[in-house]
Structures are given as structure tokens and as C-alpha cells.
Amino acid sequence: TPYDYIVVGAGPGGLIAADRLSEAGKKVLLIERGGPSLGWTGGNYTAPWLAGTNFTKFDIPGLFESMFTDSNSFWWCKDITTFAGCLLGGGTAVNGALYWFPTTQDFSTAAGWPSSWNNADPYTAKLKARVPGTDDPSTDGKRYLEESFNVMTQLLTPQGYTNITINNNPNFKDHAYGYSAFSFINGRRAGPIATYYKTAVARKNTVYFDYTTVLNVVRNGSQITGVQTDNPLIGPAGFVPLNPKGRVVLAAGTFGTARILFRSGIGPSDMISLVQADPVAGPMLPPQSQWINLPVGYNVSDNPSINLVFTHPTINDYDNWADVWTDPPAADVAQYIKNQSGVLASASPRVNFWRAYSSPDGRTRWLQGTVRPGAASVTTNYPYNASQLMTITAYLSTGITSRGRIGINAGLTATILQNPWFTDPIDKQVLLQGLNDIISTVPLVPGLTMITPDNTTTLTNYVNTYPASNLNSNHWVGSCQIGAVVDENTKVKNTNNLFIIDASIIPSLPTGNPHGMLMSAAEQAVAKVLALSGGP
Ligand code: 6FA
Ligand code: ABL
């Protein structure tokens, strides 16, 4: 069966695209390489203490930290060298779900958007109607493990910070702090899966195929005729054709979409040459005369982030989340199963804060802080109480100038080619300034001790020797950015009918963790695709 639209990837970008296209009556095929995630989607990755429920690891917000410590972590894409979710929901099935509505500047021309994109408000409103977000995710309206909020109030108030409900004031991102907000609904992981996916697959004109990988688009010059998959059940030899006026929407993520383009003969020639040398992928390429040279993979960004670890006598770090998957506290399990309330109804973050910095180059850069009980790692020569850990992660947010490059290696694994962090020394200088400010009021908070870094090093030295890979924030954007690779309708340049709707089109990082802003961008993108003449 030929389709009007083939959407590749069921992450936040793809799910919003598939939902809005099918809502408009188009015949849509949504293809996802991974399997189900949440229990009601068919997911079955569960634990003995969940017997008799349909909750999986992905449903329960409190299991978030165990994503990084589980030995059976089948959900990470094995052919991408950074964390990326390869299952229904993509990153939003496994991420921390911190959820921020975009600021005005997130879609500004200064941030790299065409002027036709500057008013994101109507699209953010559409998103909000589907995923309202919450900063008190437990269904009983109580807050759990909130001790770090008090500690942060004592730390940040003397620095001039104001406590706000963050998503009520998206543009107030200077000296602002508040409770962490999430895309959870009714105490469960929700995001685009419980909303857009749910309505998209309920429509008769939507077909969903999972466990199916798109290898490349098939094209005749600039005209895409269909997609080549690895699944013979989907079409002859895995090929799925488009209607004559049909379109393909790539939504495979910053790394995944770039790889599909390379394998379709679109991108820098060094990347396509690696595909050409591959015995399986090479023969699928169009002839070299049809290669389309675009800067796919260049100018990507990710927030550089640095952890500071503290202890405070009031903090309960929930045993540093160590047994939360294998052996969680029975009372918390009972409470969660009963009505999705309690500690397990939230992911680990508790507090977020922002501050703006003017920089020596005249730009403004924003710092974002995320505070959680527990710590991913502790390096210290101090004796410390391991049940009282608290981590502040400081991200350099909007305004960073550093950029890197991603691509593929000879094995066609998607990977970082040039690290995107601190290529501009001013980014490092501003983040270091931010860290110094954060700790400037530690002496004013009785009992608060910074244990990593400890007194054997200076903060400057800590930052200078921070392992590059630990700077990774998992917020990759920009491998197919708007203006360079796609036009203002998100159409891949020099093609007639190939579009991209995922984090790869975002030209620079938004002011907070990106999935809220990305979903607003996806609402806007799909509206532009539907409005563009010439389609089905
Ligand atoms: N963003 C936030 O806003 N808040 C957070 O707290 C947050 N936390 C994390 C986090 O803890 C981790 C570990 C990671 C990895 C990311 C986090 N992010 C957070 C970032 C956020 O999740 C991402 O920015 C967001 O998910 C990006 O959305 P995209 O739509 O651009 O791409 P995805 O990778 O989510 O989805 C791509 C989908 O395509 C996947 O389902 C994948 O399986 C599928 N796919 C890939 N290649 C394919 C192919 N060839 N064929 C078929 N399907 C394919
Ligand atoms: C995000 O936006 C980041 O991408 C994640 O890295 C972050 O989670 C979540 N949000 C929550 O703030 C952290 C975990 O809390 C750490 O335990 C883990 O070591 C780290 O991700 C790995 O990158």
C-alpha cells in the first residue's frame, strides 16, 4: 500500500508529526526501529514487585535513575555512541522528563530560526493542551524527597534568586528557581506517548510498524519514492512506496536522521564515501551524480554540564536510588501501585534554577542548574555520609557558541566526530563563573559541604580536568539545522518531498532541557508541512 506520509521514528518529533498528519486525514505509516515501552503500549519490561500490574520500568517515573544502572539496558540504541532511546517514545520513554515551555528567545532569529518561526506561542499552546506538565507529579498532591528544595532556598536566596512556578513564567529565566517540572500525567510517564501516539494509532488511517529500521530513503534525484527498511513484512524486500505526491518525514533523532541521510546519498562526501565502502549499504546508494551535498552533522551543539556533589544532614538520597529497580521500599511500592503517588511518582530532579550572564564577547549566556538527591559518582578525600548526597548539575544553556560535528564511522555507527563542548573558551569561562557563584554562599548554609570537588583541587582545575565525555548532557541538536540542511518548511534542500521533524533541525539549544521546546517546534513544523502546497 502506498502512503501519503511515511514518518520514520517514534520519538517526540515523529509522534507529533504522525498524530497531526493522521488527524488531517492523511494515510500515515509510522515506522519505529524499537519495540513498545509503556505497559499499555505492549511493553513488558517489568519486575517481580510489579506482578499483577501493567506497569513497566518505563511507566514509573521513580525508576528513571535505574535506566543508567540496569545491566539489561536494551532500550539504548546500540549503534549510537551516546545515550539515545531506541523504543516507542525515543528519548521520552527513558529520559528524566524535565519539561519546560519554550522562551520567546528559543525561537528567535538570533537563535538561528527563520522569521517565519518566531511566534511559537500558538504551537506551544497546542502542546500544552496535550501535555500540560506538572511540578507536583504525585497524585496525592504531596511532594516527596523535597529536602533539597530547602537547602537550595538557603543557597540561592542570598544570591538574589526568586522562587517561581517555572512553567507559569517561561521567560523568567534569570535568578529564578523552582520545583522541577515534568511531562508526567497522573503519576506516570506520559509525554508524547500517552498523548500524541495514543490518538495517532487509534486512527484507521495510521499504520504503525515497530521493530523495523529504515535504512535509507529511495529516490530518483530529488524525488523520494519510498523508504527501504530491514523488514520484509512491511513490503516487498522491505521497501515501502509513497503515493506519487507523497512525502517522507524523518524523525530518527539528531544521530539517527543524519545516518539515514548519509545512507541515502545526502550529506558531506566523506560520510557518503563511508557508506559507499560498506558491502551492504554501499550498493543501496544512488549514483554519485545524484549525491546531494549538504552540511549534515556539522554545527551540532549539546549543553556542557558539570556536576558538583554535596552532603547535607537533612537530605535523604533514597539510598542513592541503588536498589530502586531490584528491591524498592515495600511501602513506596504499595503506595505507588495503589494510586500512583509517593516517591516513585517522580523522577530524581527536585529543583531547577537559571541565571543569565553577560560575557566578554557581548553575548548573554544562560546557566541552568538541576538539583537531585543522590550522585552518579563521588570523588572525594572527605569522609561523608552516603545517604545524604545531593548533586547540582550546572549546564551552560542558551547562548553557547561552541559547536561540534557528528557523523558515522566505517562500521556505520553514529558517533561524535568533534566534541561540541568548550570549543569556544568563553563558554568554559562563563560556566566556571556560574559554578563559582553557585558555591559562593555554601558557608551561609549550615551543614552543607561540597565533597566533589574536594579541597585537593580548585574549581578551575576541576573544570579544566573534567573528562570531556562527562560534559555530555544528552541534548544533541542541530545536525540537520534549519537554514543549512532543511528550509523553513523543514524540507531537505534539493529534494522535493523529504522533510525532517526532530531535534536535528534545531539551530541552537533552548533555555532548558529540550523536549518541551522540541515538541513545540514539532507542532509548528508539521503545521508548515501540511500547509505547503504540492503534497498529498
Ligand atoms: N530532554 C528533556 O527535555 N528533559 C530531560 O529530562 C531529558 N533527559 C534526557 C535523558 O535523561 C537522557 C538519558 C537522554 C538520552 C535524553 C534526555 N533528554 C531530555 C533529551 C530528549 O529526550 C531528546 O532531546 C529528545 O528525545 C529528542 O527527540 P527526537 O524526536 O529528536 O529523537 P529521539 O531520539 O527521541 O527519537 C528518535 C526515534 O527514532 C527513536 O524512537 C528511535 O528508535 C527511532 N529511530 C532511529 N533511527 C531509526 C531508523 N533508522 N528507523 C526507524 N526508527 C528509527
Ligand atoms: C536531562 O536532561 C539529561 O539529559 C540527563 O542526563 C539527566 O539525567 C536528566 N535530564 C535529569 O536531570 C542524568 C542522571 O540524573 C544521572 O544520574 C546520569 O548519570 C546522567 O543523566 C547521565 O547523563
**Buried-state track 54-70, b at ≥16 Cβ within 10 A, e below 16:** ebbbbbbbbbbbbbeee
pTM for this prediction: 0.98
In angstroms, how far is the first alpha carbon of the chain from the final one? Answer: 15
In whole angstroms, what is the distance from residue 21 CA to residue 438 CA?
45
Pocket of ligand 1 (CB under 6 A): 8-13, 31-34, 83-86, 90-92, 95-98, 213-214, 251-254, 256, 260, 474-475, 502-503, 513-516, 518
Q: Among all chains, which residue has been given the C-alpha cell 539517527? A: 256
Kindly report, residue by residue over 46-92, the tens digit of the pLDDT.
999 999 999 999 999 999 999 999 999 999 999 999 999 999 999 99
pLDDT of residue 208: 98
pLDDT of residue 1: 74
| Sign of torsion over alpha carbons 10, 15, 20, 25 | positive
3-state secondary structure labels for all residues of 152-165: HHHHHHHHCCEECC
Residue 253 Cα to ligand 1 midpoint, Å, equals: 6
Pocket test residue of 79, 193, 474, 482 for ligand 1, highest count of atoms within 8 A of CB: 474
Residue 16 Cα to ligand 1 midpoint, Å, equals: 13
Which ligand places an atom closest to the C-alpha of 8?
1
Bridge partners, 404 (sequence order): 300
Q: What residues contact residue 486 under an 8 Å CB cut-off, 6+ apart? A: 480, 492, 493, 499, 500, 505
For the Cβ of 348 lying below 6 angstroms from any atom of ligand 2, the answer is yes
What is the percentage of the chain residues whose pLDDT exceeds 90? 100
Query: Of 175, 312, 475, 515, which residue is the catalytic one?
Result: 475
Does the model's ipTM exceed the 0.95 cut? yes
3-state secondary structure labels for all residues of 269-337: HHHHHHHHCCCCCHHHCCCHHHCECCCCCEEEECCCEEEEEEECCCCCCHHHHCCCCCCCCHHHHHHHH
Residue 331 Cα to ligand 1 midpoint, Å, equals: 33
**pLDDT greater than 90 at residue 263:** yes
If residue 4 lies in a helix (H) or strand (E), which one and from where to where? strand 3-8
Which ligand places an atom closest to the C-alpha of 307?
2
For the Cβ of 96 lying below 6 angstroms from any atom of ligand 2, the answer is yes
Kindly report, residue by residue over 269-324, the tens digit of the pLDDT.
999 999 999 999 999 999 999 999 999 999 999 999 999 999 999 999 999 999 99
Bridge partners, 185 (sequence order): 188
Task: Write the single-letter amino acid at 173.
Answer: K
**pLDDT greater than 80 at residue 193:** yes
Instruction: Confirm whether 175 is a catalytic residue.
Output: no
